[in-house]
Amino acid sequence: MDVDANQVHYLQRLAKQYPYIQAASTAIVDLAAQLSLPKGTEHFVTDIHGGYEAFRHVLRSGSGSIRRKINELFGSALSGGDKQSLTTPIYYPNEKLPLILKTVADEAEWYRTTLSRLVRLCRVVSGKYPRSGVRAFLPDDLASIIEELLGKQESVKDKQEYYQSIVASIVATDSAPTVVIALAELILRLTIARLHFLWIYLGFTGIWDR
């Protein structure tokens, strides 16, 4: 079969990226698996002239997507106040976390409860991504801990003590604020898979994707 110059160039580039049959096979398996994942949520935003704080809130809340996921996950198991207590530090972890902690009677217990709820929510929003996609958004110094929390189901009897010991160690070593913020940022990043900005200027419509 004749192969033109463009095909040769393309095949040479593929050979550098996948020098062995197994490397190519692994890539095919990985890509095929990713195609079977549910489609990520896309967020379209328009009319963004001025109003920075309002616009920022729309972005950080995913236009209510995070609140909806909290309602779907926890339902009537959490009161409206508890849901709000979980939603606020996700939207603005650095700003709101110190304020929330001033209102709680037992800081350690609040961290244990909040970490558990954030992990459950994070498992839900990460379900549309391959593991490598989730890992890409994790800070290097916390990646292994968060991956353990996301990968181990505390409801499995043999893993209950293991999971609880991780959370207890996070709280005991004063790492809880950092982990809470990291989980909040991860949830924010994963809730919206793709962000589209649309604008209209003198009859011209444009779009910018993130």
pLDDT tens, N- to C-terminus, the chain (210 residues):
555 667 777 777 877 887 877 777 776 666 665 565 555 566 566 665 556 666 666 667 666 778 888 998 998 888 888 888 888 888 888 888 888 888 889 999 999 999 999 999 989 888 777 777 788 888 889 888 898 888 866 556 667 788 888 999 999 999 999 999 999 989 888 876 666 566 655 454 455 455
Q: Using CA atoms, how far apart are residues 174 and 24, in angstroms rounded to an integer?
A: 44
**Residue-level pLDDT at 64:** 73
Q: Using CA atoms, how far apart are residues 18 and 15, in angstroms rounded to an integer?
A: 5
| Dihedral of alpha carbons 130, 189, 90, 185, sign | positive
**Residue-level pLDDT at 200:** 57
State how far the alpha carbon of 60 is from the alpha carbons of 56, 92, 192, in Å. Answer: 6, 8, 10
Task: Give which of 38, 18, 15 is closest to 26, Cα–Cα.
Answer: 18
The neighbour count for residue 47, using CB atoms within 10 Å, is 10
Q: Using CA atoms, how far apart are residues 68 and 63, in angstroms rounded to an integer?
A: 10
Strand 42-46 relative to strand 194-201, pairing: parallel
State which amino acid sits at residue 27.
A
**Residue-level pLDDT at 208:** 47
**Domain residue ranges of the chain, discontinuous segments joined by +:** 5-35, 43-195
**Residue-level pLDDT at 50:** 58
**Residue-level pLDDT at 87:** 87
Q: What's the farthest any 2 CA atoms get from each other in the chain?
A: 76
Task: Give which of 15, 145, 74, 5 is closest to 85, Cα–Cα.
Answer: 74
Q: Read off the tokens for 66.
A: 């995070």
**Residue-level pLDDT at 151:** 80
Q: Read off the tokens for 101.
A: 């902690």
The neighbour count for residue 102, using CB atoms within 10 Å, is 7
Sheet containing 194-201, strands listed edge to edge, beginning at the edge strand earlier in sequence: 42-46, 194-201, 204-209
